[in-house]
Structure formats: structure tokens, C-alpha cells
Amino acid sequence: MAVTITPSQITPDSSSAQSKLETLTHQFKSISQPVDRVKHLLHYAQMLPEFNQSLKVTANRVPGCTAQVWIDARLDDDGKMRFLADSDSEVTKGYCSCLISVLDGALPEEVVAMKTEDLGELNVGVKVDSRANTWHNVLVSMQKRTKALVAERDGKSVGDPFPSLVITKDGVGAKGSFAEAQARYLFPDDAKVQELANLLKEKEIGVVAHFYMDPEVQGVLTAARKLWPHIHISDSLVMADSAVGMAKAGCKYITVLGVDFMSENVRAILDQAGFPEVGVYRMSDEEIGCSLAVAASSPAYIDYLSEASITSPSLHVVYINTSLETKAYAHELVPTITCTSSNVVQTILQAFAEVPNLSVWYGPDSYMGANIVELFQQMTLMTDEEIAKIHPDHSRNSIKALLPRLRYFQDGTCIVHHLFGHEVVERINDMYGDAFLTAHFEVPGEMFSLAMEAKRRGMGVVGSTQNILDFIKSRVQESLDRNVDDHLQFILGTESGMVTSIVAAVRQLLCSSDSSSKEGKVSVEIVFPVSSESVTTTSLTTSPSSSTGLSLGELGDVSNMSVIPGVASGEGCSLHGGCASCPYMKMNSLTSLIKVCNSLPLGKDALTRYEAGRFSLRTPKGNSIADVGCEPILHMRHYQATKKLPEKLINQILGAGSNGRAE
């Protein structure tokens, strides 16, 4: 349950936290020279009450600060908050002292009511972002501890913790049944790994898989990659390119572990690259769908594009997670370029920079579209210098000018990311406010806003699966470089299948540090923000999971599983809770992969329905779907390589030749 602290009628006297903050702000504003403001901050550092050495434990550390910062909090007999703090940096001690001068002795509702934005007026002369973020991160930690103490006083529970995996140099522990189910496949059976690697090598088969694969499949593939190099796990952008590399290296077949549009793209790109003889196989004889791809082929989406086609000049930016057929039909209606969640912002900004008076039509993911608009609206509050760091050809005025000409489709969602709803956001705020927060660009607005707020104070990332992985790796490396005991907690705001790649990358970092040195012990916790309805229970009964997690020796016994990674009836998680797993991606099983590999090459006839087919249909204008559908992908590749839109696409937008569209 969420912790509710109802604000009381606080009189604005000199003892209120707000009045103290206003006094503090006035002090710093009255000092004209930045160097003098820093001196005043250091004066506050000398006023910080003594912090007992016994309180300097990992549990009291404030995450996200460059320096080490510790906070201790308690409720006194009068129901007021009492705080102590310390840091190994004098400047940071000054920050802490300022905050304690405002909030020590405050009512809990005053502490919780204070916003990080309230600290923006405190210009103390320190320009480094990591230092400025200290204000915010220490405040968020104070608020988290306040909520927990109030709940304890009132005999209430802050709420059950989300399931999580704790990664250390020595292994991986699981907290909660959902995490246990994920963890069981992180250490795959050696015999299965060897069997798959031998099979792939013998028959010269390459494997391209999406990050969102089932943990069992990812675990085996990750281990098998050490024995057979032609296995690649990535986001959808890189899958087709990896397949081309495997074909060049001599692979005769490519197996695609993903949804159908991914295998379509691999087939088409291999043909474009001159490898029509390389077979491409899916993992099911049934359709492996995708709610976004379905939305993009709906009559509503065609109507949306028809409106774009009569608005000149226009560019359709389509998410790569759509079918080749959709891309082809769209490109004949309005000039089209594909994008991914990692390059969508830069693609749109570059298009507006290169084509005057352009209208951009994004689709089909409604959440991503709304989040892009929200991001650009936030950019209008930035300085020109800050905006230039995002894109050098834009300023506050140009961002304001482009917003009315940026449209997005209103009726398309990923059924997985749709499920990061209000309940989950509320629990994250109450229980994980000081954790690192990662969110895919496709999550709903509440989760996106929460992640953007965390990003502003250096505690979050919003972007693609690869962006999320890179963010986690960078924060872990920073912690290792500090050489102190640390516990990093990350909220995984995307599909849970990513955890295999995350665990592998984090373990590699933790194990690569010099074990002979006296470096600090670093642990990394990956939190799955799933609601209680987000997992499917089985009829098996087991003892309650231990708070210390599942031991590595227990991970291999699947018969003891009390939950299955995934969700009931293949419908996704509760609409009020976070997502767990994509039911379409889970159609890509290890059993299917082995079956397909065993059937090649002699049993190809039995795999007809598994084969990624070529498009024999033509577009409404009589062109090849593969040829026209590939062009938006090639436009994106050109942009990725040069950071400029291709000349052909600009001509299409401006209507030069062939009416500006693919013919």
C-alpha cells in the first residue's frame, strides 16, 4: 500500500521548513561573488553536527552522489523528523548541512512536501552537475526515510518490496518468487549449452535474438556464444546487421528469436546485401505477433498517414518495430524513415533542422510519441547551451517552433510497456525514491516523468534497451572506480527478459576488478517493478523464499518452481502494475530453437511455416514490398552513419522527382 502523509495547516512562521528554506536562499542570493558563496557553503560544512562512525554503513549511503554521503533519520517524541549527515567531501558536507538546517525538526509532511525544484533557487556557485545533483539526491533519501518511519509509527506497511536479483562478484541471489524464476536460468546446464553450440557449429547456423527473450533461452545463448561466435543478442536495430555479418562469415542459415517483423527485416536485409541463399527461420509455425505492429497496419493508422500525405512538407518517422509491409505502404503515402528508441529523438531533431517548415508524423507507439513531446516541452525550459548538448542545431526558440508541427499516432501501444501504471509508480516513489531508475521510451507518461526526474539528477536513464544496459554498466564502473563498499539499486523499467544481458555485463565488471587489491565490495540489485498479479502461479507449493535469496545450488531444479516467468493467459500483467514479460517473445523457446536446428538442412520441407518468407505481394503502386519497405531502413542506416538525412529522402520530402515518394 502507498504511504499517505496528509499535509497539515502549516503556518508560515520562522520555524517552518519553507521559511527556513527562504531564509537560506536569501543568504546565498545576497552574496554576489561565486567564490564567496562557496566559502559560505564551506562555513555550513563546519556547522554540521558530529556523525557517529558506527552510522557510516552502506544502508545509510545516499545513492547517486560523487562523494560518499551518509544520512541517518529518526522520528522524535514530538513527531518531528531528526536528521544527521556526513560526507567525505567538504563541499558535500556543506550541502548536507544546509538541508539539515532546513529540515531537521520539521514535520514529516513538510519533508515530504518539499520538491527538488524548491532547491533550484539555491545558487551556491558550484556549477558541476554532479555537485548540484547532491541537493536533490540527499533530499530524496530524506523523504524515503521519512515515509518509512511514519509508516512504522502508524503500524502500517510501506508495501511489499518488488522482486529483485542481487549481483555480486561471488554470484547472484534472488529475492521474491518472480526473481527466483528469472534466476534459475542464469546458470544454464552445461550439457544444454554444449549441445546447442555443437549443433550450430556443425550446421553453420547463426542466431540473432532480441534482448527480451525468455531467461532460459538467453542464459543458454549467452553461454553458448563462448563456444560459437555467431550468436548475437541485441535490440532490434542491430539484429539484421548482425545477420549480414554472420552470412559473410559463412553461416548458411540464420535463426531469428524475436517477433515476426524482426525475421522479416532480417530476410529483406540479407537479400539487399546479396545473400538470398541464406535461409532465415522463425521459432514457431504460428504467427509471432506484436501489438505495435498490428496497430501500424490498422485502418486508423492508414487514415493518420493519409492526413500526413496532404500536408507538405512531411516526414513519417516510423518505429522499427513494425512490419516490412507497413513500412512499404507508409513510404508510398508519405516519405518515411525508420527509428529506434535510441535514435528517435536525434532523428526528429535532425529532420527539423534540415527541412524548413517540416511536419513530422511519428508512429505507431502512442506512449513513445507522448513522451517525445513531453521531452521537447521540457527542453523549452532549458538554456540554449543545454539544448545544444542534445542537438547542436537547435535552441529554445527552435524547439518551441517545432512542437506544433510534431504529431504522433494516438492509438498504438506495446502491451508490455503499457503496464507500468499508477500502482507501480506510487510504490517506486514510496519505496525506491533514491534508487537508479531506468525506463524504456515506450512506458506510459507517469513512469516516463518519474524516470525523467531521476535523469535530471543523474539517477536515471530514458531510452532504448541498449541505453539502459549502458547506463547500468557505467554506474557500476563508477562505483568500482571509487573503491569503497557500495550497493547500487536499479529499477528495471522495461521487459524483464533484459535481465540476462544485464547480469552477464555486471558480473563481468565485478569479476574483472583486481581481487588481490583492497577494493570495496560492490553489490548490484536489479529490481523488477511487477505487481502481485504479474506472475503466473503453478499448482506446486514450496516453502516461502528466504530473504537472503536463492542459493546458486538451488537454481537448477525447475521442478521446484512456484511461478513461471510471464503472466496469466498470455494477456500481459495487471493494468495497474508493472510489466513482466512479453507473451509474444516467449514463443521463442529453447525447444523450438533445437527443433529448427535439428531439421536443417535435410528437413527443410517440414520447416516451411517456420521460414521467414519473402514478400511476393506488391504495393498499391505495383512495387516490390521488400524493395520499398527496406528503403526507410536504409535511410535510417544512412543517418546513423553520417548524422545527416540522405539526399534522396530530403528530395522525397520536398517532392523532387516521382512526386517525392517511392515509386
- Between these two residues, 439 and 256, which has the higher pLDDT value? 256
Mean pLDDT of 349-356: 98
- Between these two residues, 131 and 636, which has the higher pLDDT value? 636
- Whether residue 554 is predicted with pLDDT greater than 50 in this model: the reply is no
276 and 220 assigned to the same domain:
yes
The answer to whether 336 and 661 have CB atoms below 8 angstroms apart is no
Q: What is the pLDDT of residue 183?
A: 82
Among 95-99, 372-376, 475-479, 618-622, which stretch is predicted with the lowest mean pLDDT? 618-622
Mean pLDDT of 268-275: 90
Q: Are strands 164-168 and 171-175 parallel, antiparallel or unpaired?
A: antiparallel
Nearest to 492 by CA among 531, 444, 529, 534: 529
Q: Tell me if residue 253 falls in helix, strand or coil.
A: strand
Active site residues: 65
Among 114-123, 215-224, 435-444, which stretch is predicted with the lowest mean pLDDT? 114-123
- Whether residue 197 is predicted with pLDDT greater than 50 in this model: the reply is yes
Domain assignment of residue 322, given as a range: 291-414+623-660
651 membership: H or E segment, kind and range: helix 647-654
282 and 348 assigned to the same domain:
no
Phi-psi region of 643 (alpha: psi -120 to 50; beta: other; left: phi over 0): left
Q: How many CB atoms lie within 10 A of CB 327?
A: 28
449 and 547 assigned to the same domain:
yes
**Among the three residues 138, 153, 168, which one is the final residue of a domain in this structure?**
153
Burial class (CB in 10 A: 0-12, 13-18, 19+), 381: exposed
74 and 118 assigned to the same domain:
yes
In a domain, 77, yes or no: yes
In a domain, 308, yes or no: yes
- Whether residue 627 is predicted with pLDDT greater than 70 in this model: the reply is yes
Q: What is the pLDDT of residue 218?
A: 81
- Per DSSP (E only), the strands in 448-603 are 460-463, 486-493, 522-527, 536-537, 563-564
d(CA 75, CA 259): 53
d(CA 71, CA 81): 12
d(CA 225, CA 238): 17
Q: What is the pLDDT of residues 11-39, one digit of tens each?
A: 445 578 989 998 998 888 888 888 888 89
372 and 312 assigned to the same domain:
yes
In a domain, 548, yes or no: yes
458 and 522 assigned to the same domain:
yes
In a domain, 185, yes or no: no
Q: Tell me if residue 228 falls in helix, strand or coil.
A: coil
The answer to whether 633 and 269 have CB atoms below 8 angstroms apart is yes
Instruction: Please report, for residues 243, 255, 470, the alpha-carbon distance to residue 228 in angstroms, rounded to integers and kept in the order given.
Output: 14, 14, 24
d(CA 492, CA 432): 12
- Per DSSP (E only), the strands in 468-600 are 486-493, 522-527, 536-537, 563-564
Amino acid present at 223 = A
Spell out the long-range contacts of 155-159 with Cβ–Cβ below 8 A and sequence spacing 24 or more.
156/1, 156/3, 157/1, 158/1, 158/3, 158/430, 158/431, 159/1, 159/2, 159/3, 159/427, 159/430, 159/431
422 and 409 assigned to the same domain:
no
d(CA 573, CA 415): 9
383 and 522 assigned to the same domain:
no
In a domain, 529, yes or no: yes
Q: What is the pLDDT of residue 531?
A: 56
Q: What is the pLDDT of residue 369?
A: 87
- Whether residue 127 is predicted with pLDDT greater than 70 in this model: the reply is no
Q: What is the gyration radius of the CA atoms in the chain, in angstroms? A: 27
Q: What is the per-residue DSSP string for 369-433?
A: HHHHHHHHHHHTTS-HHHHHHH-TT--HHHHHHHGGGEEE-SS---TTGGG--HHHHHHHHHH-T
In a domain, 189, yes or no: no
200 and 119 assigned to the same domain:
no
d(CA 174, CA 152): 26
The answer to whether 403 and 376 have CB atoms below 8 angstroms apart is yes
461 and 514 assigned to the same domain:
yes
Q: What is the pLDDT of residues 491-550, one digit of tens each?
A: 988 767 678 889 989 999 999 876 545 567 899 999 988 754 444 333 322 333 333 333
Here the cell at position 565 is 516467468
**Among the three residues 121, 153, 185, which one is the final residue of a domain in this structure?**
153
Q: Are strands 436-440 and 486-493 parallel, antiparallel or unpaired?
A: parallel
573 and 604 assigned to the same domain:
no
In a domain, 4, yes or no: no
Q: What is the pLDDT of residues 140-150, one digit of tens each?
A: 999 999 999 99
**Among the three residues 102, 125, 153, which one is the final residue of a domain in this structure?**
153
Q: What is the pLDDT of residue 550?
A: 34
Longest dimension (CA), the chain: 85
Mean pLDDT of 383-389: 90
The total number of structural domains that make up the chain: 4
The answer to whether 458 and 467 have CB atoms below 8 angstroms apart is no
Q: Tell me if residue 514 falls in helix, strand or coil.
A: coil
Q: What is the pLDDT of residues 39-53, one digit of tens each?
A: 998 999 999 999 999
Model confidence at 558, pLDDT cuts 50, 70, 90, reads very low
In a domain, 299, yes or no: yes
Sheet containing 279-281, strands listed edge to edge, beginning at the edge strand earlier in sequence: 231-234, 205-210, 253-257, 279-281
557 and 432 assigned to the same domain:
yes
Q: What is the pLDDT of residue 421?
A: 55
Find the CATH number of the domain harbouring 205.
3.40.50.10800
Mean pLDDT estimate for the chain:
81
